[in-house]
């Protein structure tokens, strides 16, 4: 439905509105996207508009058509989106220059800070972020101070950032009560479970390079199904729905799938499940500094973090599941990967050692997958021992 001012709008504006309406109705529909592009270019034929060029750039960006998006953003003189595109495609020096020319805002400063971290321009990133007090900026600023070696300042800012989240969940991961009806399928999908920030992404990126494996990323499928079952719904052919449109072995790295292992094993009794473990202290500190975007309210309070880790251990207790220590993986990646692939009934492939060569790395945490395997994160919590709340000390590694 078009706005009341439609009769008085210019032809360019009408074409722009029609294109935007198509995308709002079905943003992921390829036919709608193609039709919107046609309308945008019709508008450009009438008037060379920066706004239209920007919309074209955003459409190509969302389709990961990088060359076309770059051309459109250049035509729109949009330094922000051009800089973001360069960051996503690994051209960090260009990204730094373009984002620096964009209008100052919390988003601009946050992305500038993120790029500064990757390029080592720590002090420049700190200067850009200091003036902003929103949650996202504070988390990024804490990371920069951490990189700069000022752990006391990093901790102070992380306290403010987590407090601003305003969320608590002192009893995370309640016990599920839904009955599981076995499907006994013969497929062997791979599930990497564990606490967030335990190395699940690194392992998934390694396995996803195997020619016989494709990634499902962090699929919330079994969380969705479990919620339906808990509500009393009767659901059949769960495995078929999970594997729909997949023609290779799948690897799923949603950490909280550890909550749904009874369901997963009922559907896929031959599933390869890997419990990814990292030093407890390092895991909790990494969660504390992470600005999680999902529903993880337990991650913004120090006591709740410990409670979450304890519940994770309770869920895994007594299960005969392949356990993999993050520290072993990063110290000797080839040897441990050979063990993992053997567990998953996969032949060795050298590509698994090149996790950061994957062109889809922009979909993942930037500093976790762009670098080669590193041991730098081992023992990262030790630097914050003097900052931790006295009411709750760190536990021994688990």
**pLDDT tens-digit readout, 68-97:** 999 999 999 999 999 999 999 889 999 999
CA 278, CA 282: separation in Å to the nearest integer? 7
Per-residue model confidence (pLDDT) at position 390: 63
Q: 246 Cβ partners below 8 Å, 6+ apart?
A: 214, 216
Would you say residue 20 has pLDDT above 50?
A: yes
pLDDT at position 351 over 50:
yes
pLDDT at 398 over 50: no
% of the chain with per-residue pLDDT over 70: 93
- Per-residue model confidence (pLDDT) at position 181: 83
DSSP string of 33-55, one letter each residue: HHHHHHHHHHHHHH---HHHHHH
What is the Cα gyration radius of the chain?
A: 24
Residues 268-323 have pLDDT tens digits of 999 999 999 999 999 999 999 999 877 788 999 999 999 999 999 999 999 999 99
- Residue 175 pLDDT > 80: yes
The pLDDT value given to residue 358: 67
Average pLDDT, the chain: 90
Distance CA 28, CA 36 (A): 12
H or E element, residue 21: helix 11-25
pLDDT of residue 218: 92
Q: Taking 60 as the threshold, does the pLDDT of residue 145 lie above it? A: yes
Cα gap 348→326, rounded to integer Å: 20
How many Cβ atoms are within 10 Å of 395's Cβ, its own excluded? 12
Beta strand residue intervals within the chain, DSSP E: 190-194, 213-217, 249-252, 272-277, 322-325
Torsion of CA 158, 163, 167, 170, to 10 degrees: 80
Identify the residue with better confidence: 110 or 4: 110
**Mind listing the domains of the chain with CATH numbers?**
1-77 (1.25.40.10), 191-384 (3.40.50.300)
Collapsing DSSP to helix, strand or coil, 90 comes out as: coil
pLDDT at 124 over 80: yes
Strand-pairing partners, residue 152, are none
In the predicted model, is pLDDT for residue 361 greater than 70?
no
């Amino acid at each position: 439905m078009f706005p009341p001012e439609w009769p008085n709008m210019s032809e360019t504006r009408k074409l722009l509105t029609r294109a935007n309406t198509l995308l709002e109705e079905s943003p992921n529909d390829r036919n709608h996207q193609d039709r919107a592009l046609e309308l945008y270019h019709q508008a450009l034929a009438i008037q060379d508009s920066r706004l239209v060029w920007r919309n074209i750039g955003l459409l190509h960006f969302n389709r990961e058509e990088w060359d076309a998006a770059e051309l459109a953003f250049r035509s729109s003189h949009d330094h922000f989106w051009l800089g973001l595109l360069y960051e996503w495609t690994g051209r960090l020096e260009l990204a730094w220059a373009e984002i620096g020319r964009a209008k100052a805002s919390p988003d601009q400063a946050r992305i500038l800070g993120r790029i500064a971290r990757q390029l080592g321009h720590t002090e420049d990133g700190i200067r850009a972020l200091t003036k902003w007090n929103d949650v996202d900026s504070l988390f990024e600023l804490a990371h920069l101070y951490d990189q700069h070696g000022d752990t006391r300042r990093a901790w102070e800012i992380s306290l403010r950032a987590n407090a601003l989240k305003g969320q608590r969940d002192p009893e995370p991961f309640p016990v599920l009560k839904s009955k599981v009806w076995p499907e006994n399928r013969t497929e062997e999908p791979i599930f990497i479970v564990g606490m967030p920030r335990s190395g699940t992404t690194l392992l998934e990126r390694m396995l996803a390079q195997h020619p016989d494996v494709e990634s499902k990323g962090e699929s919330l499928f079994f969380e969705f199904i479990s919620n339906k079952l808990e509500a009393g719904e009767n659901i059949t052919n769960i495995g078929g729905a999970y594997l729909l449109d997949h023609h290779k072995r799948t690897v799923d790295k949603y950490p909280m799938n550890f909550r749904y292992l009874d369901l997963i094993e009922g559907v896929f009794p031959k599933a390869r499940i890997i419990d990814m473990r990292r030093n407890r202290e390092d895991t909790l500190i990494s969660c504390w500094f992470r600005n999680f975007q999902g529903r993880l309210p337990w991650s913004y309070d120090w006591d709740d973090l410990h409670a979450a880790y304890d519940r994770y251990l309770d869920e895994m207790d007594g299960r005969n599941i392949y356990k993999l220590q993050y520290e072993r993986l990063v110290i000797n990646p080839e040897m441990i990967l050979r063990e993992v692939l053997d567990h998953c009934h996969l032949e060795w492939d050298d590509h698994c050692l090149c996790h950061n060569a994957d062109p889809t790395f922009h979909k993942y945490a930037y500093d976790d997958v762009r670098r080669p395997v590193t041991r730098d994160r081992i023992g990262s919590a030790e630097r914050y021992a003097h900052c931790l709340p006295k009411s709750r000390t760190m536990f021994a590694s688990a």
